[in-house]
Amino acid sequence: MNPANRNSESDSLKFSIRDLSAFYREEQSLKKIALDIHPDQILGIIGPAGSGKTTFLRTLNRMNDLVPDFRMEGRILFNGEDIYQPRTDVVRLRQKIGMVFALPVALPLSIYENVVYGPRIIGTRKKDSLDDIVERSLKAAFLWEEVKDRLNTSAVRLSGGQQQRLGLTRVLALEPEVILLDEPCSGLDPISTAKIEEALTVLKSRYTIVLVTNNTKQAARIADNTAFFLMGELIEFGSTNRIFTSPDDERTNDYVTGRFG
C-alpha cells in the first residue's frame, strides 16, 4: 500500500490505538494494545473478567485519570489528535466521547431535569432548546413513548431498563461523536436488553459505538467488529462474523464457544 493510501485510511479512523499499556501501580492491566476503530460502527469488546476490557474502554475518554496510581504508555489518537497530550481539554473530550456505565444511576431529579443536566452545565439555557434536546434524545434512546407524559416525575421511579436508557439519553443530550458502553445490559431482563440493542443498532449510523459486554451472543447480534481480550492482551480483532465463525486463534474459538470464560 502506498503512503497516500495509508494517510487516507488514517484520516478516516475515529480512534487509532498503538502500543497501549496500562498499569495500576505495578500491576499491568493492558499489554501493548494496537487497534483501529472506524466511525459509524459498533465495536464489541469481549473477554472473561479481568481481561482489561473496562480499563481499555476508560482509556478512550481518560476516565482512568480519576483512578489513583493509574498510568499508561503508548498513544491514542482521536480524530487524528493524541488525547493524552498536555493541552487536551479533558472535559470537552468526555463531552465528545460519552460513557454509559454498567449500573444505571438516575439523578434524584425529574426525568426532564436528568436529560437537561449536562446541556445546562455547558451553557444551554433557552427552554425551547432544552425541550428539543429532551425529546430528541429520549426518542433516540427509544424511551420517549414510555415517559413523554411524565417528564416531571422522579427518574428514580423508572425501571432498571428505563434508567439505563435514561443514562444513554443523558449522553446523547451532549451531542457526542462516540458512545462508550460498559456492560449496559448487565442484570437487565431480555425485553430491556432488546430495546437497548435496537437503539444502538439505529444510533450507529450517527455515532461510533464501543460496547464492552460479557454476553458473547450480544456482541454476535449487534457488533460490526469484535475484539477479544484475554489477560490484558488483544488476542484477536476482526469482523464479528469471522470472529464467531472462523477465528484465527484457538483461544478465541474456545471463548466464543463457551469452553471457558
Residue 208 falls within a domain, yes or no?
yes
How many structural domains compose the chain?
Answer: 1
Q: Are strands 97-100 and 70-78 parallel, antiparallel or unpaired?
A: unpaired
Residue 104 falls within a domain, yes or no?
yes
Which residue, 247, 180, 237, 190, is CA-closest to 42? 180
- How does residue 6 score in pLDDT terms, banded at 50, 70 and 90? very low
pLDDT at res. 259: 87
- Nearest-angstrom CA–CA distance, 176 and 184: 18
Residue 108 falls within a domain, yes or no?
yes
Residue 209 falls within a domain, yes or no?
yes
Q: What is the pLDDT of residues 119-132, one digit of tens each?
A: 998 888 899 999 99
Residue 96 falls within a domain, yes or no?
yes
In the predicted model, what is the mean pLDDT of residues 148-173?
Answer: 95
Beta carbons of 186 and 214 less than 8 angstroms apart: yes
Residue 220 falls within a domain, yes or no?
yes
Supply the CATH number for residue 208's domain: 3.40.50.300
Q: Which residues pair with 42 in a beta bridge?
A: 209
Residue 69 falls within a domain, yes or no?
yes
- Nearest-angstrom CA–CA distance, 199 and 62: 25
- How does residue 260 score in pLDDT terms, banded at 50, 70 and 90? confident
The dihedral built from the CA positions of residue 69, 75, 77 and 83, taken in this order, carries a sign that is: positive
pLDDT at res. 4: 39
Please tell me the pTM assigned to this model. 0.91
**Summary mean pLDDT of the chain:** 92
Domain of 191, in residue numbers = 3-256
pLDDT at res. 11: 55
Residue 261 falls within a domain, yes or no?
no
Q: What is the pLDDT of residues 194-227, one digit of tens each?
A: 999 999 999 999 999 999 999 999 999 999 999 9
Which residue, 106, 165, 105, 103, is CA-closest to 140? 165
